[in-house]
Structure 1
Amino acid sequence: MLDPFGPEARRLVKDEFGGITELLMIIPSYVGIDAALERVSWIKSGEIPKDILELEGIRDLLTFYALLGALAFSPYGLEREVVREANLRIYHRRILQKGTLVGVSTPLEAVPGGEIPERDRTILERTHHTELSPDERRKLRLGYRIHLSKFLELWEGSLKEVYVRNGYAYLTEEGAIELWKRSFERNFDRAVNLLYEIRDELPDYYLRLYEKLGEIAREHYKERLERMGSAKAQPLRFDLFPPCVKIALGGVPSGLRNYAITVLLTSFLSYARLCPNPPRRDVRIKDCVSDLGVVEREILPVIIEAGNRCSPPLFEDQPHEVKNIWYHLGFGLTDSPTLEDSGNSTWYFPPNCSKIRANAPELCRPDRDCRNIKNPLTYYLRKLYLENRRKGEGEGGETDEGAKEGGEENG
């Protein structure tokens, strides 16, 4: 299989198993944890095992989705990084061996003969340069095209860098592979975000697999671990908050106050600060902290200030709402909780984006980073992850992936 998100993979998931959720439920019966780990355990050596490269069809899909299921417990941690890196290299190598990108998730087509005017082809592919070797000529050949509307969804550069004709962008093999890699990561994010929402329903198999993945990831990234950080409890990064949370922080009109402050802001801030990547939905604050100091110093004041920015100020208008804040934090209806009270009510998880749109549409003003995100907390986790990865790469020079990809292809 050239792409676990391509048309053939989608057909197998839908027709053979009935969907991703159903597929994940049966995987533990067919794929052992060690077999799933084989897809990533080679990463430190850089040598992809032959039997992994030769996996086909359903077997390939089962082992890949086993790892995705494990990432439901850590969508933006080092575990995600190692699964993404390993599988990107596996499928990249298969594409190079097969010699085509037709059939991957990116809707690329082979360029029909005569599609490009000969004068343009001569200039673009430098076919008049007699000193170019056959291999160099092959690399310059515009062998793929993609409809411009699909191309623009993935392309981040200027259109001046691309040959465009009759509604299509034309690409070299290298350009097409780069576009596919962006598509792979986007599909990867979409799948992981979807599974994050159903992690409580997944068999214990995936939690055990996640723990084993963590061991591999920490060993592989031990030199980068300190630079990259992880999705653990840490001071709040207000600049990385999703648009809906920023709107709530700025204060809202009376009809939105209770939802924006008590429902959204209370749940988001508390999880983002104390337990951004909870292993389960029934976690309590006392499972995450040893005293209430961080809640009283870093979370409650932010909620109170946001409530006071509302029109009219929420807590002046409804002073009893402070008790409701503690109730949503899991301490029961009180205004003077102790840590032992944690668990007297449910610590409410941030509402999904679909619920925010339904109950408070004025809060939902998506930006470009909201794409494929289903919950405000995963938006924050993703932004933290990307910033930590950039920091790790910036301080460490060339990325591990880039160095190993180059060595692998030159070897």
Structure 2
Amino acid sequence: MSDPFGRDAQELIRREFGDVLTLLERIPSSIDPDEALSLVGWMLKSNEPPGELLRTDPLEELRDLFRFYALLGALAFSPYGIEAEFVKKATAKLYRARIERKGSLEGSLLKIEPTEGIPERDRKILERAMDRSLPEDEREKLKLKYRMHLSEFLELWEGSLKEVYVRKGYAYLRWDEALKLWEMAFERRFDKAVSLLADVRDELPEFYEELKEKLEELAGEYFKERLEKLGKVGAKPLRFDLFPPCVKEALKGVPAGMRNYAITVLLTSFLSYARICPNPPRKDVRVKDCVSDLRVIEEEILPVIIEAGNRCKPPLFEDQPHEIKNIWYHLGFGLTDKPTLEDSGNSTWYFPPNCDKIRANAPQLCKPDRYCRGVKNPLTYYLRRLAREERSETGEGGEEGG
């Protein structure tokens, strides 16, 4: 299988299982964890996937999908950790190499089609732009192989339209440009799939938690140098400059009608998870599972929430002093204003609401920037930007959009 998110793969899943959850239930009885790990373990020894992984057998397509989706199931238990970064990087390289070996994007997730010819006048202009002294193989790379509807193209393209041949609502692409777009589309679909599975991880077999632990070892080894420089991904001081736009808007203070949602629901959940439990091990995690005392909440999180509440018009906690109890309630301590660590678990520690819920409940907070593309939750936005910043600090690449 050259693209596990492609149209061919999705049709195979629908035909054999009906949906991805049914597929995930079947996987533990079909393969063992080590077989799934073979898709990514090569990263510890080589920059390029081995030949045996590039050879695809049509009779083994289903088993190949088992291995990939087993990894996605495991990442449901670590959607924001280094494990997800490791698997995404390895599988993007692997499936891109398979597509290059195949020489075609047919059946992939990219909504793309071969070019049907370019008008003679335009063709001559394009040919003149090429250096005729180039070898034939180099000239071949410059040929426009595919076209993509402009609306779909703009969802992925981050460069200038001046760099692309556009005609009658289509962008025409060279082979290397099409591959790059496929890779971007793959990474976005990967993040979305992991995020969706994280919402149902309590329904997944124990097999996936065991696989997640093995992935953690591989990712830890692969990112060993980075982790030694920065410390393992986990609780660390907040980076306000990397917050998503909706959280920055809430921090400024909001008018009556949005105060309770912006301050009590969004800020409380976002700041607490981002600061003390950015990669929750399970859905029912409690504050006392992540910290040994309440000082980090009382000294770093609660003051920020109260300050944002005071910026509201009218000030939230002057107008509704009981709302402090609701803050602790949303942190999982029950309805109290004098909690102890042992009270953690008396109510649910609410996870940050997804972007669609924010748009529905407080649309004025939603002011997307370029980093919002492909993001479904404000915590995902923050952790992605934080990871890019850390890669920049260790010389592994700076920030980029998408």
Whether the TM-score (by the shorter chain) exceeds 0.5 is: yes
What are the within-5 Å matches in structure 2 for residues 68-107 of structure 1? 68-107=72-111
What is the one-letter code of the residue matched to 1:94?
Answer: R
Evaluate the alpha carbon distance shift between residue 190 and residue 144 of structure 1 in structure 2; reply closer, same or farther with a 3 A threshold: same
Aligned partners of 1:115, 1:192: CA distance in 2, in Å? 43
Percent same amino acid at aligned positions? 64
Deviation at 1:7, TM superposition (A): 1.0
1:123 aligns to what?
128
2:353 aligns to what?
351
User: In structure 2, which of residues 222, 231, 240 is the aligned counterpart of residue 238 of structure 1?
Assistant: 240
Q: Does 1:59 align with 2:60?
A: no
How many equivalent residue pairs? 393
2:2 aligns to what?
2
CA contact (8 A) 1:254 1:312 kept: yes
1:402 aligns to what?
none
Q: CA RMSD in A?
A: 2.2
1:35 aligns to what?
35
Evaluate the alpha carbon distance shift between residue 122 and residue 319 of structure 1 in structure 2; reply closer, same or farther with a 3 A threshold: closer
User: In structure 1, which of residues 135, 138, 142 is the aligned counterpart of residue 137 of structure 2?
Assistant: 135
Evaluate the alpha carbon distance shift between residue 113 and residue 266 of structure 1 in structure 2; reply closer, same or farther with a 3 A threshold: closer
Aligned partners of 2:29, 2:324: CA distance in 1, in Å? 48
Aligned partners of 1:114, 1:352: CA distance in 2, in Å? 44
SS in 1 for 2:144: coil
Deviation at 1:301, TM superposition (A): 0.5
Evaluate the alpha carbon distance shift between residue 302 and residue 164 of structure 1 in structure 2; reply closer, same or farther with a 3 A threshold: same
Aligned partners of 2:135, 2:246: CA distance in 1, in Å? 55
2:262 aligns to what?
260
Aligned partners of 1:182, 1:229: CA distance in 2, in Å? 28
1:206 aligns to what?
208
SS in 2 for 1:323: helix
1:406 aligns to what?
none
Aligned partners of 1:217, 1:376: CA distance in 2, in Å? 24
Deviation at 1:298, TM superposition (A): 0.1
What is the one-letter code of the residue matched to 2:64?
Answer: D
CA contact (8 A) 2:246 2:367 kept: yes
Evaluate the alpha carbon distance shift between residue 197 and residue 285 of structure 1 in structure 2; reply closer, same or farther with a 3 A threshold: same
What is the one-letter code of the residue matched to 1:3?
Answer: D
1:190 aligns to what?
192
Moved more, 37-46 or 173-182: 173-182
Q: Does 1:297 align with 2:299?
A: yes
What are the within-5 Å matches in structure 2 for residues 130-169 of structure 1? 131-169=133-171
CA contact (8 A) 1:125 1:142 kept: no
What are the within-5 Å matches in structure 2 for residues 257-406 of structure 1? 257-392=259-394, 395=395
Aligned partners of 2:11, 2:282: CA distance in 1, in Å? 31
CA contact (8 A) 2:192 2:376 kept: no
CA contact (8 A) 1:42 1:48 kept: yes
CA contact (8 A) 1:332 1:344 kept: yes
CA contact (8 A) 2:288 2:341 kept: yes
CA-to-aligned-CA distance 1:188-208 (integer Å, 9 cap, x gap): 222122222222322222121
Deviation at 1:228, TM superposition (A): 6.2
TM-score by length of 2: 0.90
CA contact (8 A) 1:76 1:231 kept: no
Deviation at 1:230, TM superposition (A): 5.2
Deviation at 1:304, TM superposition (A): 0.9
CA contact (8 A) 1:193 1:372 kept: no
Aligned partners of 1:176, 1:349: CA distance in 2, in Å? 37
SS in 2 for 1:146: strand
Aligned partners of 1:309, 1:235: CA distance in 2, in Å? 23
Aligned partners of 1:75, 1:216: CA distance in 2, in Å? 16
Evaluate the alpha carbon distance shift between residue 374 and residue 132 of structure 1 in structure 2; reply closer, same or farther with a 3 A threshold: closer
SS in 2 for 1:311: coil
What is the one-letter code of the residue matched to 1:313?
Answer: P
2:11 aligns to what?
11
What is the one-letter code of the residue matched to 1:123?
Answer: R
Deviation at 1:302, TM superposition (A): 0.7
Deviation at 1:265, TM superposition (A): 1.4
CA contact (8 A) 2:388 2:397 kept: no
Moved more, 190-199 or 268-277: 190-199
SS in 2 for 1:43: helix
1:173 aligns to what?
175
Moved more, 90-99 or 107-116: 107-116
1:248 aligns to what?
250
Deviation at 1:110, TM superposition (A): 2.1
SS in 2 for 1:143: strand
What is the one-letter code of the residue matched to 1:342?
Answer: S
What is the one-letter code of the residue matched to 1:62?
Answer: F
Evaluate the alpha carbon distance shift between residue 172 and residue 364 of structure 1 in structure 2; reply closer, same or farther with a 3 A threshold: closer
2:115 aligns to what?
111
CA contact (8 A) 1:231 1:381 kept: no
1:404 aligns to what?
none
Moved more, 363-372 or 203-212: 363-372
SS in 2 for 1:262: helix
Aligned partners of 1:341, 1:208: CA distance in 2, in Å? 30
Evaluate the alpha carbon distance shift between residue 137 and residue 256 of structure 1 in structure 2; reply closer, same or farther with a 3 A threshold: closer
Deviation at 1:229, TM superposition (A): 5.6
